[in-house]
Structure formats: structure tokens, C-alpha cells
């Protein structure tokens, strides 16, 4: 029985691994403790540690309510204030103190707001610049697209005018068999009259260059002899007729009808020529085919977009 009790007491024993401090401090221990305390007091705290201590002290002070023996609390108590009540007569008034924002730098009051204002202005200016750049880029791309569209329409207009001129000349030759060379410009349809005028101008320039290159030296009037006949003068380079007289009447006067047509936008001119080809010759430029009847069955439309 005694053995079982001693064994049970042995199982209930608690062993404390922590060494117990001696009841009395020795001189060596006291000297070591004082040395450590002196070193702790002599050590200068870092700036971060000082700021952390100040922040902790400030938060602790703000979290602590005013004691009833505080002079300020006593003054507010005279006006009916009680601990935990809101300040003022309104029920939704403030119950906690206003948070304190500590100014830790040496800059003047309001400098931080000025920095924020400048930063905000810089940000807005950068946003406006980015917007302008994007708009300019969009305008540039749109201009490029418009130029490409106009270039394509001009190409289609040249093809349509060439086709209309060819079909018209073919129709005229089949009707009377007469040659169309030398036909007055004003008798040509204004829709493709510009092509004939360009050919006349080109021929005019070519003849002028040829006469300038080959006949200028031979047309000095001071070299002509009075007793020479015209054939001898020409053969010997003594022709007194100015070289430009043969070209004065090559080009006709200004053509108001053609000028008015050429002043139209390229897209409008193209539509007029395409409509003429369809009505007159039942021809579609984008189909590349002359239909047998006016219905033009199978053609999706007059414009290139209709054929996409």
C-alpha cells in the first residue's frame, strides 16, 4: 500500500526546469546588473526608435480618457458633459478627439499642400498631353486613310474616264466611221474631256520643245537677205517667221464647263462617270463587264463598297 502511494506521488511530481533565483543578490551579480543598466541608459536611441516611442506615447495618451480630476474635464462637467457623451447638443456629434497629424519635417505650413497641388497639376498636364498626342495620332491616321481613299478614288476615276472615252469613240466610229482626231475639245463629253485636253497640252509642249531645240538658231530675222525667196530662206535658216506663231492657236480658250466639273470632289466626279457608264453603256467598272440589258442583273451596285 505504501509502495502504491509513493508511486502515485511520484507520478504527480512537477519538475521546474527554470532555475530559481537566489534569495540574495551577490556583489558580482549586482555589479553586472548595474553595468547593464548603465549601458542601456547611456545608449542613444535611433531616430526610428524615438519616433516609435513618441508615436506609442501619443496613441496611449489619445486612447486615455480625461480623468475626472482634470481641470478641463471639470470645466466641461459644469456645462453638463459626462464621460462617454458626445461634444455639443447634437446626438451625432463627435465622441472621439480629432486625430493629431504630427509635422515631422522642417518645411513651412502648407508646403505639403503646395506639393500635392503641383503634383496634381503635373498629372493633369501629362494626361492632357497624352490626350492631345492620342488625338493628333488619330487625326494623322485618319488623314492618311483619307488620302489613301482619295488616291484610290482618283485611280478609279481615271479608269472610268478611260473606259467611257473608249466606249464613246467606239460607238462614234461604228456610227459614221469618221476619225475622231482633231475633234474640238468642247464637243467632247465633259466627263472625260480632261483626258483630251491633257493630250493636246502634252502635244503642244512637245512641239514647242522641238522647235526650240532645232529652229531657234535658224530663225534670227537679221540674217535674212532681201533678194532671197521663201524656200531659200527656210533651207538656209533665214526664215523670219517667229517659231511660236504656229502654236498660238493650238489650245482653245478657257473651258468654264470643264473647270466647274474639275472643281467637284473626286468622289462626286467618280459617281457621275460611273452612273454615265451604267446608263449609257450598261457597263460596271468594278464588275469589269458590259451587261446585255439595262437591268444589269448580277451587279451588286454602283460603288466599290457594294462589290465588297
- What is the pLDDT averaged over residues 139-168? 87
Q: Which residue has the higher pLDDT, 136 or 35?
A: 35
Residue 10 clears pLDDT 60, i.e. is over it: no
Residue 48 domain-assigned (yes or no) = no
**Residue 122 covered by a domain:** yes
Question: Do 232 and 271 form a contact (C-beta atoms < 8 A)?
Answer: no
Domain count, the chain: 2
Q: Judge whether 199 lies within some domain.
A: yes
- 49, part of any domain: no
The confidence band for 219, taking pLDDT boundaries of 50, 70 and 90, is low
Its sign, for the CA torsion 205, 207, 210, 214, is negative
- Res 15: pLDDT: 56
The answer to whether the CB of 291 falls within 8 A of the CB of 297 is yes
Q: Is the pLDDT of residue 226 over 70?
A: no
CB of 269 within 8 A of CB of 261? yes
**Region 27-48 average pLDDT:** 86
Highest mean pLDDT among 24-28, 181-185, 266-270: 266-270
pLDDT at residue 116, rounded to an integer: 84
pLDDT for residue 231: 57
Q: Which of 228, 244, 263 is the last residue of a domain?
A: 263
Angle between helices 111-176 and 266-281 (to 10 degrees): 30
pLDDT at 155: 92
Domain annotation covers residue 190: yes
**Percentage of residues of the chain with pLDDT beyond 70:** 75
Per-residue pLDDT at 224 = 47
Say yes or no to pLDDT of 230 above 60: no
Enclosing domain of residue 124: 111-143
Which DSSP string do the residues of 99-157 spell out, in sequence order? PP----S-SPTTHHHHHHHHHHHHHHHHHHHHHHHHHHHHHHHHHHHHHHHHHHHHHHH
Quick check: is 276 in a domain? no
User: What is the per-residue pLDDT for 247?
Assistant: 46
pTM of the model: 0.47
Domain finish residue from 263, 283, 303: 263
Q: What is the DSSP letter of 299?
A: -
Does residue 162 belong to any structural domain of this protein? Answer: no
Cα distance between residue 72 and residue 65, in whole Å: 12
Half-sphere exposure of 189 (CA within 13 A, CB side): 17
Domain assignment present for 256:
yes
- How high does pLDDT run on average in the chain? 77
Amino acid at each position: 500500500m505504501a509502495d502504491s502511494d509513493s508511486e502515485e506521488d511520484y507520478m504527480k511530481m512537477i519538475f521546474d526546469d527554470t532555475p530559481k533565483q537566489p534569495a540574495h543578490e551577490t556583489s558580482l551579480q549586482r555589479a553586472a546588473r548595474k553595468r547593464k543598466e548603465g549601458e542601456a541608459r547611456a545608449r542613444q536611441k535611433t531616430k526610428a526608435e524615438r519616433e516609435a516611442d513618441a508615436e506609442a506615447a501619443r496613441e496611449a495618451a489619445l486612447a486615455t480618457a480625461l480623468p475626472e480630476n482634470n481641470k478641463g474635464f471639470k470645466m466641461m462637467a459644469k456645462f453638463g458633459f459626462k464621460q462617454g457623451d458626445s461634444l455639443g447638443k447634437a446626438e451625432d456629434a463627435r465622441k472621439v478627439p480629432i486625430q493629431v497629424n504630427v509635422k515631422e519635417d522642417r518645411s513651412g505650413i502648407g508646403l505639403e499642400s503646395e506639393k500635392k497641388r503641383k503634383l496634381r497639376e503635373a498629372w493633369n498636364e501629362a494626361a492632357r498631353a497624352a490626350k492631345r498626342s492620342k488625338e493628333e495620332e488619330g487625326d494623322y491616321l485618319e488623314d492618311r486613310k483619307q488620302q489613301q481613299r482619295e488616291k484610290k478614288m482618283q485611280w478609279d476615276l481615271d479608269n472610268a474616264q478611260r473606259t467611257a472615252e473608249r466606249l464613246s469613240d467606239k460607238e462614234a466610229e461604228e456610227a459614221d466611221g469618221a476619225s475622231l482626231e482633231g475633234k474640238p475639245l468642247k464637243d467632247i463629253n465633259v466627263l472625260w474631256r480632261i483626258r483630251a485636253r491633257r493630250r493636246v497640252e502634252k502635244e503642244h509642249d512637245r512641239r514647242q520643245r522641238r522647235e526650240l531645240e532645232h529652229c531657234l538658231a535658224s530663225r534670227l530675222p537679221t540674217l535674212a537677205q532681201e533678194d532671197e525667196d521663201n524656200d531659200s530662206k527656210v533651207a538656209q535658216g533665214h526664215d523670219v517667221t517667229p517659231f511660236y506663231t504656229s502654236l498660238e492657236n493650238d489650245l482653245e480658250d478657257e473651258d468654264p464647263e470643264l473647270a466647274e466639273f474639275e472643281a467637284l470632289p473626286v468622289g462626286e466626279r467618280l459617281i457621275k462617270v460611273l452612273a454615265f457608264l451604267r446608263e449609257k453603256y450598261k457597263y460596271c467598272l468594278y464588275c469589269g463587264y458590259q451587261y446585255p440589258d439595262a437591268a444589269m442583273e448580277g451587279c451588286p451596285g454602283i460603288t466599290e463598297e457594294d462589290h465588297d
